[in-house]
Chain A
Amino acid sequence: MTADNCKSDKNATGQLLDSLYLDMFHLIEEHTQCRLDIERTNASGAILLARTKFQQGGQSLSSAQIPTENSAEFNALCRVVDKTDDDKTDKVSIERHSVDKENGYVEPLHWFSVLPPMSLRTAVERFKKSIELVAESTNLQRELAKVLNGIDRLRRSLAL
Chain B
Amino acid sequence: MALHSAIKGKLISVIGDEDTCVGFLLGGVGEINKNRHPNFMVVDKNTAVSEIEDCFKRFLKRDDIDIILINQTYAELIRHVIDAHTSPVPAVLEIPSKDHPYDASKDSILRRARGMFNPEDLVR
Residues of chain A having any CB pair with chain B under 8 Å: 21, 24, 28, 31-32, 35-36, 38-39, 42-43, 45-46, 49, 61-63, 66-81, 92, 95-96, 103-104, 108-109, 111-112, 120, 123-124, 126-128, 130-131, 134-135, 137-138, 141-142, 144-146, 148, 151-152, 155
Contacts and interface: CB of A to CB of B under 8 A. Distances in A.
A152 B91 contact: no
Given A67-B30, A134-B93, A74 B3 contact: yes
B61 interface: no
B69 to A, nearest CB: 6
A92 B65 CA distance: 13
Contacts of B11: 76, 79-80
B116 A49 contact: no
Given A45-B23, A67-B32, A39 B96 contact: yes
22 contacts: A28-B113, A35-B96, A39-B95, A39-B101, A43-B98, A46-B19, A63-B42, A73-B33, A74-B3, A74-B31, A75-B3, A76-B12, A76-B28, A77-B28, A81-B9, A92-B66, A95-B8, A104-B1, A130-B24, A134-B95, A144-B113, A155-B121
B98 A78 contact: no
B18 interface: yes
Contacts of A49: 19, 22-23
B26 interface: yes
Q: How large is the interface on B (under 10, 10 to 19, 20 to 34, 35 or more residues)?
A: 35 or more
Given A28-B110, A63-B22, A73-B1, A131 B28 contact: yes
Interface of B is mostly: mixed
B45 interface: no
Given A73-B32, A124-B26, 14 more contacts: A35-B96, A35-B102, A39-B96, A66-B42, A72-B32, A74-B31, A75-B4, A76-B29, A95-B9, A104-B4, A127-B27, A134-B69, A142-B88, A145-B109
